[in-house]
């Protein structure tokens, strides 16, 4: 016998709608209702009234729907936390074995049809994929809250700019050196602070990020300060991508005898960046299945239990910090080459917050989720330029909906179950 259904309470729905309308008035009133005009402002009550009316009507019908049997079932599904690692059945074959080759094929033919603007947007998305993958190791796998991750990003970018200015380093030589320099910076930061955890670690890493930014901003004789530093264009075996080569060199289009293409520089950066992203994805995939990856996850779940198993928690944290920092250094080199110029304003705390949002929304520890979230949070603002007034509002609504719909992120981390060996199950049943 099924449980009796409760009657729909229209009064409660009206109360919910009125409360939602008042909250919408408080939020939308100053943002939408007041338009600055020089030193004064103009009131736009009609715009506020429309938005508040939409919220009230929507909340009323939503409240009515949530009182129906189907609505109750949906509300109960949101209440389940879904915490922990999702265990898949033994022998499970992921659909990624078909999706990944398809995405690689699309990525290969993409530059043929894309214009310069779309290509630069995708390059920016891939840079944030690198940053998200690096921070995902630190936050998602090892459980270390790092709010100063942008510092390693800045080290990579300035490594290329200052390396060219003082040492004559190019793109290819700066790429591994910047990763090593960022990894060393992660080690230097790691030794004194990784005995901390939780909020204390977050505050110290936040301070480290601000220290790096202030040093770059105030050391005028070395970094150029707020004026920034120019970055050389990348080359391919010494061949430049400009119309005319510098210092008597040979442009690549003249060397190979094809027509000059102004987008060739960005196509080159896109190609190398895509290959580096694939390499980082593979390395990260292998690391999560090695003892060091299991140690990261053990540390994330319970540090005391991890230490009781004989693991050196400081070295485990240090390895996660080092590998994550080196990935940010690689991303910094690509960002500097892509932009052609670096200054401290590109490495503020907002960048660290954005990268952390990518990791959280994508799913803590989930590689696929981080890749998707990186493109959503970087490409979507560019696609919404026509809605410039409401981009931040839409971004906030997306964040709230994600926290309600997917509190564990877009894709929850999963593991494939292990099939018991022959004879083990029989022995267990015979006990």
| Tokens matching residue 386 | 């026509």
The confidence score (pLDDT) of residue 1 equals 41
Residue 308: the pLDDT is: 81
Q: How far, in Å, CA of 203 to CA of 187, rounded? A: 17
CB-based contacts of 144, cutoff 8 Å, min separation 6 = 138, 194, 197, 201, 317, 320, 321
> Nearest CA to 208 among 221, 194, 219?
194
Three-state DSSP at 37 gives strand
Phi, psi angles (nearest 5°) of residue 233: -70, 145
Across 259-294, b (16+ Cβ under 10 Å) vs e yields eeeebbbbbbbbebbbebbeebbeebeebbeeeebe
β-bridge mates for residue 402, sequence order = none
Query: Is pTM, for the whole model, over 0.85?
Result: no
Q: Smallest Cα–Cα separation from 179: which of 312, 324, 65, 316?
A: 324
Cβ–Cβ contacts within 10 Å for residue 375, how many?
19
Are the C-beta atoms of residues 239 and 231 closer than 8 Å to each other?
A: no
In whole angstroms, what is the distance from residue 180 CA to residue 174 CA? 10
DSSP H or E run through 28: helix 10-32
Nearest to residue 127, comparing CAs of 276, 227, 238? 276
Q: Pairing state of beta strands 229-230 and 341-342? A: antiparallel
pLDDT at 341: 86
For residue 319, which of 414, 415, 191 has the smallest C-alpha distance? Answer: 191
What DSSP string runs through 127-160?
A: HHHHHHHHHIIIIIIT----S-THHHHHHHHHHH
Question: Tens of pLDDT along 299-355?
Answer: 887 778 877 887 887 788 888 889 999 999 999 999 998 888 888 888 888 888 888
Cα(88)–Cα(90) distance, integer angstroms: 7
Query: CB-based contacts of 282: which residues, under 8 Å, 6+ apart?
Result: none
The rounded distance, in Å, linking the Cα atoms of 212 and 148 is 9
Task: With H, G, I as helix, E, B as strand and everything else as coil, classify residue 19.
Answer: helix
Chain center to CA of 119? 19
Look at residue 262 in the predicted model and tell me its pLDDT.
Answer: 73
Residue whose tokens read 């053990």: 298
Residue whose C-alpha is closest to residue 379's, from 103, 126, 102, 112? 126
The encoded tokens of residue 312 equal 């050196």
Q: Which pLDDT tens digits describe the chain residue by residue (431 residues)?
A: 444 556 777 888 888 888 988 888 888 777 777 777 777 777 778 888 888 888 889 888 888 888 888 877 776 665 554 555 566 666 666 666 777 788 888 888 888 887 888 888 889 899 999 999 999 988 888 888 888 889 999 999 999 889 888 888 888 888 899 999 999 988 888 777 777 777 788 888 888 888 888 888 888 888 888 888 888 878 777 677 776 767 666 777 666 767 777 778 888 889 899 999 999 998 888 888 888 888 888 888 777 887 788 788 778 888 888 999 999 999 999 999 888 888 888 888 888 888 888 888 887 778 888 888 888 888 777 776 766 666 667 777 777 777 766 666 667 666 666 666 665 555 545 55
CB atoms within 10 A of CB 384: 13
Alpha carbon 173 to its chain's center:
26
The two beta strands, 86-88 and 414-416, are: parallel
- Size of the chain in residues: 431
CATH for the stretch 99-237+264-413: 1.10.3470
DSSP 236: B
- Alpha-carbon distance of 269 to 275, in angstroms, equals 10
Alpha-carbon gap, residue 31 to 42, rounded angstroms:
12
Instruction: Report the candidate in 333, 307, 403, 319 with the shortest Cα–Cα distance to residue 123.
Output: 333
How far are the Cα atoms of 12, 13, 64, 402 from residue 20, in angstroms, in the given order? 12, 11, 14, 19
Looking at residue 369, what is its pLDDT?
84
Q: What is the rounded CA–CA span in Å between residue 31 and residue 28?
A: 5
346/182 Cα distance (integer angstroms): 17
């Amino acid at each position: 016998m099924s449980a009796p259904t409760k009657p729909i309470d229209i009064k409660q729905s009206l109360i919910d709608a009125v409360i939602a309308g008042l909250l919408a008035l408080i939020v939308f009133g100053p943002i939408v209702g007041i338009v600055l005009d020089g030193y004064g402002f103009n009131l736009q009550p009609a715009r506020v009234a429309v938005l508040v009316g939409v919220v009230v009507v929507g909340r009323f019908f939503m409240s009515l729907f949530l009182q129906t049997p189907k609505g109750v079932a949906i509300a109960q599904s949101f209440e389940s936390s879904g915490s922990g690692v999702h265990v898949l059945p033994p022998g499970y074959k992921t659909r990624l074995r078909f999706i990944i080759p398809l995405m690689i094929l699309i990525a290969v033919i993409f530059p043929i049809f894309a214009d310069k603007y779309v290509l630069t947007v995708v390059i920016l998305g891939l840079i944030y994929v690198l940053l998200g993958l690096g921070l995902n190791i630190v936050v998602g796998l090892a459980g270390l809250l790092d709010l100063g991750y942008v510092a390693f990003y800045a080290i990579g970018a300035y490594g290329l700019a200052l390396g060219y200015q003082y040492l004559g380093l190019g793109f290819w030589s700066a790429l591994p050196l910047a990763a090593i320099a960022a990894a060393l910076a992660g080690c230097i930061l790691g030794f004194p602070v990784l005995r901390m955890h939780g909020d204390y670690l977050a505050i110290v890493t936040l301070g480290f990020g601000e220290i790096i930014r202030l040093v770059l901003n105030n050391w005028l004789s070395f970094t150029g300060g707020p004026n920034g530093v120019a970055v050389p264009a990348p080359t391919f075996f010494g061949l430049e991508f400009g119309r005319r080569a510098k210092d008597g060199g040979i442009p690549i289009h003249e060397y190979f005898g094809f027509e000059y293409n102004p987008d060739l520089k960005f196509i080159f950066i896109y190609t190398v960046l895509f290959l580096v992203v694939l390499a980082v994805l593979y390395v990260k995939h292998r690391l999560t299945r090695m003892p060091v990856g299991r140690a990261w996850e053990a540390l994330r779940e319970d540090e005391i239990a991890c230490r009781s198993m004989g693991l050196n928690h400081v070295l485990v944290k240090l390895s996660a910090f080092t590998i994550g920092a080196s990935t940010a250094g690689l991303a910094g080199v690509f960002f500097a080459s892509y932009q052609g110029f670096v200054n401290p304003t590109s490495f503020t705390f907002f960048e660290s917050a954005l990268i952390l949002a990518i990791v959280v929304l994508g799913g803590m520890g989930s590689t696929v989720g981080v890749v998707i979230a990186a493109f959503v949070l970087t490409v979507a603002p560019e696609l919404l330029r026509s809605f410039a007034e409401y981009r931040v509002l839409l971004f906030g609504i997306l964040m709230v909906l994600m926290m309600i719909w997917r509190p564990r992120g877009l894709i929850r981390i999963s593991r494939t179950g292990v099939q018991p060996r022959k004879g083990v199950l029989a022995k267990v049943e015979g006990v």
